[in-house]
């Protein structure tokens, strides 16, 4: 079996200046902190970042005084363009937008999930009524199906997806506990290269197959060492 186990630094070295990356989690909960730390250390610039939100800055009371999730990349000036559903929690994003250093594209949260899923599942796009009659429809096709209008949302495909799991086996099958699941599954499906950071990595066959939620087929690289306190 192909060895997918790497260090965080080795894994994120596939990310180059100007790449599009997707990072799982919701306001930092469920984001792969060891991969983000390694990407900060690597210093890769001009990234397009697909994430639900901008993470939490260290002055937010729910962070324990350290940047959570993708807030690390934004604070370090590594992101040129963020594609997200909500960026109001991290003030660095508005600061970057006012300074002209950060572009922000807003996508309804359900459409963001489906655009990623479409990319991962080989769909040409998704038809949804969400966003019709709002600024979200600008520049998009409206398609009528049996008398009802829908907005065509196109697939969104990151080059690299950074995923957090609680448990993973060495094939890459993985499991996320409680509310850390958000966006991790669809981003694992969508990414051309998928890196999973797990708290605990098991040998293949060590656990019952039903223990795992997501297929390791999507996973290219595995890094062990996520800590529960980092969530």
Report, in Å, the least distance between residue 82 CB and other proteins: 10
Q: Is 106 helix (H, G, I), strand (E, B) or coil?
A: strand
- By the criterion CB under 8 A, which residues form the site for other proteins? 26-30, 52-53, 56, 60, 62, 84-89, 94, 97, 106, 108-114, 117, 128-136, 176-186, 228-229, 231
Q: What are phi and psi of 74, to 5 degrees?
A: -70, -45
End-to-end CA distance of the chain: give it in Å, rounded: 31
Task: Provide φ and ψ at 198, rounded to 5°.
Answer: -120, 155
Minimum CB separation of residue 85 from other proteins in Å reads 5
Residues 50 and 35: their CA atoms lie apart, in Å, by 15
Counting Cβ atoms within 10 Å, is residue 7 exposed (0-12), middle (13-18) or buried (19+)?
Answer: middle
The smaller minimum CB distance to other proteins, of residues 38 and 96, is found at 96
CB of 50 vs other proteins, minimal distance in Å: 12
Nearer to other proteins, 105 or 205 (CB): 105
| Residue closer to other proteins (CB basis): 62 or 211 | 62
CB of 181 to other proteins, least distance (A): 4
In the complex, minimum distance from the CB of residue 155 to other proteins, in angstroms, rounded to a whole number? 14
Between residues 47 and 55, which has the closer beta carbon with respect to other proteins? 55
CB of 27 to other proteins, least distance (A): 4
With tokens 């080989």, the residue in question is 122
Query: 65: exposed, middle or buried (C-beta count within 10 Å: 0-12, 13-18, 19+)?
Result: exposed
Beta carbons of 143 and 182 less than 8 angstroms apart: no
44/158 with CB nearer other proteins? 158
CA–CA dist 108, 102 (Å, integer) = 19
Which helix (H) or strand (E) segment holds residue 198: the answer is strand 193-202
Q: Which is nearer to other proteins, 88 or 124 (CB)?
A: 88
């Amino acid at each position: 079996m192909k060895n997918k186990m790497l260090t965080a630094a080795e894994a994120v070295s596939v990310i180059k200046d100007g790449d599009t990356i997707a990072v799982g989690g919701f306001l930092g909960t469920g984001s792969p902190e060891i991969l983000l730390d390694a990407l900060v250390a690597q210093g890769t610039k001009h990234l397009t970042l697909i994430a639900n939100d901008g993470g939490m800055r260290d002055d937010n009371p729910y962070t324990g005084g350290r940047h959570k999730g993708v807030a690390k990349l934004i604070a370090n000036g590594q992101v040129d363009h963020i594609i997200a559903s909500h960026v109001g929690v991290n003030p660095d994003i508005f600061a970057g937008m006012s300074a002209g250093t950060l572009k922000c594209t807003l996508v309804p949260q359900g459409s963001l999930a489906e655009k990623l899923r479409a990319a991962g599942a080989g769909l040409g796009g998704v038809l949804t009524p969400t966003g019709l009659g709002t600024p979200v429809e600008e520049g998009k096709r409206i398609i009528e199906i049996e008398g009802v209008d829908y907005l065509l949302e196109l697939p969104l495909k990151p080059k690299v997806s950074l995923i957090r799991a609680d448990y993973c086996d060495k094939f890459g099958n993985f499991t996320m506990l409680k509310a850390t699941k958000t966006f991790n599954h669809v981003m694992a499906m969508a990414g051309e290269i998928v890196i999973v950071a797990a708290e605990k990595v098991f040998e293949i066959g060590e656990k019952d197959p039903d223990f795992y939620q997501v297929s390791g087929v999507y996973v290219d690289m595995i890094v062990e060492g996520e800590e529960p306190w980092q969530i």
